[in-house]
């Protein structure tokens, strides 16, 4: 996945409506098209996206609130930079997601057997698509992300309350960014998705069985181990750059 190092490569110059400025900027950060530590200013964003400074400022402010952009100097024209990849933050985001999603997963035990089976089958289908893409010589990051997210989202949609969905949605941009980076980082660090497959199998089986404790444990274990793997990959690649 290419990560441009120069500001001139960050935007394609296509004019955007004010309504989708935030979405576009967030996607550029999440998908790695805006490299970590890249500096941004309101005039630059406004000019490159063909918009006024007001929507540029608003979009950048929202991304700062989400932790995707961080302050990078003051002055008359305050700058921000794309947040760096941080192993400690990755661990925290993944573990918090795991706590929320595993608590949600307990609700599976209250579902009728037929609904649990359909839920397990839907999750297994997403996981199968994820595995097929991961097995390619050059996996498509969009398909990997979409199917992995779908695997977990099926469970959330079926079991989460509105409050829990809101909390997970708040975490999503930061988690999504690390998921987009995980595949290339993991391969560089010599990791594979073998453990992920095993953990997903355990979740699907627990959902089908309908035991609250079992499914909660399986979901939490998956996110905890994913956090460990991602942190190891980040440390490995940081060491290589020294």
Q: Tens of pLDDT along 1-21?
A: 333 333 333 444 555 555 588
Q: Which residue has the tokens 């609904």?
A: 115
What average pLDDT does range 69-80 have in this prediction? 78
**What pLDDT was estimated at residue 43?**
83
pTM over 0.85: no
What pLDDT is stored for residue 236 in this prediction?
A: 79
d(CA 113, CA 155): 15
Query: Comparing 192 with 210, which gets the higher pLDDT?
Result: 210
- Answer whether residue 203 shows pLDDT above 90: yes
Range 161-173 average pLDDT: 93
Per the DSSP assignment, residues forming a β-bridge with 69 are 82
- Domains of the chain listed by start with CATH number: 7-82 (1.10.10.10), 87-241 (1.20.120.530)
Torsion 211-214-216-219 (CA) sign: negative
Average pLDDT, the chain: 86
Task: Give 85-139 pLDDT, tens digit per residue.
Answer: 888 999 999 999 999 999 999 999 999 999 999 999 999 999 999 999 989 888 8
Q: Give the pLDDT score at 95.
A: 96
| Tens of pLDDT, residues 38-64 | 999 888 888 877 788 888 889 999 999
Within 10 angstroms of residue 115's Cβ, the number of other Cβ atoms is 13
What is each CA distance from 86 to 8, 49, 212, in whole angstroms?
25, 28, 33
Range 173-186 average pLDDT:
79
Tell me the residue ranges of DSSP E strands in 63-156.
69-71, 80-82
**Confidence at residue 18, expressed as pLDDT on a 0 to 100 scale:** 58
Three-class SS state of 191: coil
- Alpha carbons 123 and 179: distance in angstroms, whole number: 18
Residue with tokens 């595949």: 183
Q: pLDDT band at residue 35, thresholds of 50, 70 and 90? A: confident
């Amino acid at each position: 996945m290419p990560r441009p190092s120069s500001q001139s490569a960050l935007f394609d110059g296509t004019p955007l409506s004010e309504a989708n400025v935030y979405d576009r900027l967030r996607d550029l950060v999440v998908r790695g098209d805006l490299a970590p530590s890249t500096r941004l200013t309101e005039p630059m964003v406004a000019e490159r996206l063909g918009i006024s400074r007001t929507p540029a400022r608003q979009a950048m402010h929202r991304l700062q609130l989400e932790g995707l952009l961080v302050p990078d100097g003051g002055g008359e024209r305050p700058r921000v930079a794309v947040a760096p990849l941080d192993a400690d933050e990755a661990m925290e985001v993944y573990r918090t997601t795991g706590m929320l999603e595993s608590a949600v997963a307990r609700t599976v035990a209250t579902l009728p057997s037929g609904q649990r089976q359909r839920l397990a089958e839907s999750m297994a289908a997403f996981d199968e698509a994820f595995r097929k893409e991961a097995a390619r010589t050059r996996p498509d990051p969009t398909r990997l992300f979409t199917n992995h997210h779908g695997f977990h989202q099926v469970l959330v949609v079926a079991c989460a309350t509105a409050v829990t969905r809101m909390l997970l949605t708040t975490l999503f941009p930061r988690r999504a960014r690390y998921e987009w980076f995980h595949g290339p980082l993991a391969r560089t660090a010599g990791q594979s998705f073998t453990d992920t497959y095993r953990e997903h199998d355990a979740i699907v089986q627990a959902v089908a069985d309908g035991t609250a404790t079992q499914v909660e444990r399986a979901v939490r274990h998956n996110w905890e181990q994913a956090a460990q793997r991602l942190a190891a990959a980040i440390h490995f690649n940081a060491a290589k750059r020294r």
